[in-house]
A and B are shown apart, each in its own frame.
Chain A
Amino acid sequence: MSWNWTLRAGAATLVLATAVSAYALDAASVEKARSDYFHSVGKAMKGSGDELKKPEPSMTDVKAFAATLDKLAPELVTHFPAGSGPDAGIKTEAKADIWTRPADFKKAVDAFTTAAHAYNVAAQTGDAGATRTARMALGKTCGGCHDSFRNEEHHNH
């Protein structure tokens, strides 16, 4: 009987451990993809910003960056599945508020998506002045969301 119980306990532990590690692995890979995603957003923001800072920006480059942002913006929500927050035991800057205040989060994300689209529309016209203004407006939606839903990072690369 004791052998039987040991076996059962062992099997149960194994199942549990597998489940837990699978779950943890999942959240960690979500975090990795999320971090890569925001990295791409930041790169496109910086790339277009560097260009727009010039007195005579290359609007071809700016158009490409703005199109990238317009394409990336709607993907944002897919990077925040339930269970990928700070409670998942992973190192993340995502605040639990994302999941406890879904309506507010959606509003902030929608503002970003709309502004990214407006940025692309402005860029495609080739008007540098209007594009600069649209980029600042887009930047405000980044900051607006980060203020409420992202923990200020500190020295982690």
Chain B
Amino acid sequence: MTRLKVWDLPTRLFHWGLVVLVGLAWWSVSVHNLTFHRICGSLVAGLLAFRLWWGLFGGSTARFGHFLKGPGAVLKYAKGLIGHAEPASGHNPMGGWSVAALLTLLIAIVGFGLFAVDVDGLESGPFSNLVSFEVGRTASHLHDLMFDGLKLLVLVHLAAIAFYAVVKREGLVRAMVDGKKALPDTAAPLAPARIWALLVGLAIGAAVAGLLIRLSN
């Protein structure tokens, strides 16, 4: 077993940036600071746009094609979970789908937020002027509902991390910090992305975030 590189820096920054920004978005709404909430949401949208790009052109372990496996692989992994499954280089077949679900929920939350209108008709998302008050209210309820779903999924995510730490003795948090994970010497390490892919991804993310911030306030 050696500690091999499994997560590239952009993927790690995306992960922790998301944790911080979703946390701030949650906090800002609880103190009724919707201006700051829209900034957080816009930045999350930028991160998600980057992540979608990175899922196609990023480092090997960040690519959707790398971690979205068929039901056979998922089932096989689930059965091996109790026994002696090899630690995965990147997302394991179950974790991969959990990532897909997290990303889908986040996209839905941001998407509904763009059109959401609060009960007073005072605060609203940047595209709410394109919809009626009623549609904006529905978008707001769905924005809420999807966030409840996200909280649930984050709990599952944390429970899985705890399970791996205690039962499987795999430090997933540390891997997401320094990018390295203890793997058998035969495991395939990360194949990093090209620099142009990173630059294009950063440009897409910055454009999305910048545009939404401009439209929001």
- CB of A153 within 8 A of chain B? yes
B128 in the interface (beta carbon within 8 A): yes
Contact yes or no, B144 A154, CB < 8 A: yes
Candidate in B119, B136, B137 with the most chain A CB atoms within 10 angstroms: B119
Main secondary structure on chain A at its contact with chain B?
helix
Within the assembled complex, what's the spacing in Å between the Cα atoms of A38 and B32? 20
A53 within 8 A of B: yes
Assess the B121–A44 pair: CB atoms within 8 A. Answer: yes
B121 touches A42 (CB 8 A): yes
The answer to the question of A71 belonging to the interface, with a C-beta cut-off of 8 Å to chain B, is no
Residues of B with C-beta under 8 A to A41: 120-121
Q: Are A42 and B133 in contact (CB under 8 A)?
A: yes
B141 interface contact, C-beta 8 A: yes
Q: Which of A47-71 contact B (CB under 8 A)?
A: 47, 49-50, 53
Q: Does A107 contact B (CB under 8 A)?
A: no
Interface size class of A (residues with CB under 8 A): 20 to 34
Contact B120 A139 (CB under 8 A): yes
What are the residues of chain B within 8 A of A142 when measuring CB–CB? Answer: 120, 122
Asked if B141 contacts A49 (CB within 8 A), the reply is no
Task: Give complex CA distance A50, B100 in Å.
Answer: 35
* Cβ of B145 under 8 Å from chain A: yes
Contact B119–A46 (Cβ < 8 Å):
no
Contact B129 A45 (CB under 8 A): no
Contacts A53-B129, A143-B32, A143-B122 given: A46-B141 contact, CB under 8 Å? no
The CA of A157 and the CA of B117, in the complex, are separated in Å by 13
A50 and B129: CB pair below 8 A? yes
B interface residues, how many (CB within 8 angstroms): 17
B124 at the A/B interface (Cβ < 8 Å)? yes
Q: A53: nearest residue on chain B (CB-CB)?
A: B129
Which residues of the partner chain A approach B119 to less than 8 Å between Cβ atoms? 38, 42, 146, 153
The answer to whether A155 has its CB under 8 Å from any CB of chain B is yes
Residues of B contacting A38 in the complex (Cβ-Cβ under 8 angstroms) = 119
Minimum CB–CB distance for A56 against chain B, Å: 14
Closest CB-CB distance, B35 to chain A, in whole Å?
Answer: 11
A45 touches B120 (CB 8 A): yes
The smallest beta-carbon distance between B112 and chain A, in angstroms, is: 13
Which residues of the partner chain A approach B32 to less than 8 Å between Cβ atoms?
Answer: 143
Give the CA-CA distance A53 to B145 in the complex, in Å: 28
- Which residues does chain A contribute within 8 Å of B141, judged by CB atoms? 155, 157
In Å, the complex CA distance between A133 and B107 comes to 33
Which residues of B have CB within 8 Å of A53?
129
Question: What residues make up the interface of A, taking CB atoms closer than 8 Å to B?
Answer: 38-39, 41-47, 49-50, 53, 135, 139, 142-143, 146, 153-155, 157
Task: List 16 additional contacts besides A42-B119, A143-B122; criterion CB under 8 Å.
Answer: A38-B119, A41-B121, A42-B117, A42-B121, A42-B137, A46-B122, A46-B124, A49-B122, A49-B124, A139-B120, A139-B123, A142-B120, A143-B32, A154-B144, A155-B145, A157-B138
Q: Which residues of B contact A (CB under 8 A)?
A: 32, 117, 119-124, 128-129, 133, 136-138, 141, 144-145
The 5 closest A-B CB pairs, nearest first, are A45-B121, A46-B121, A42-B121, A139-B122, A50-B129
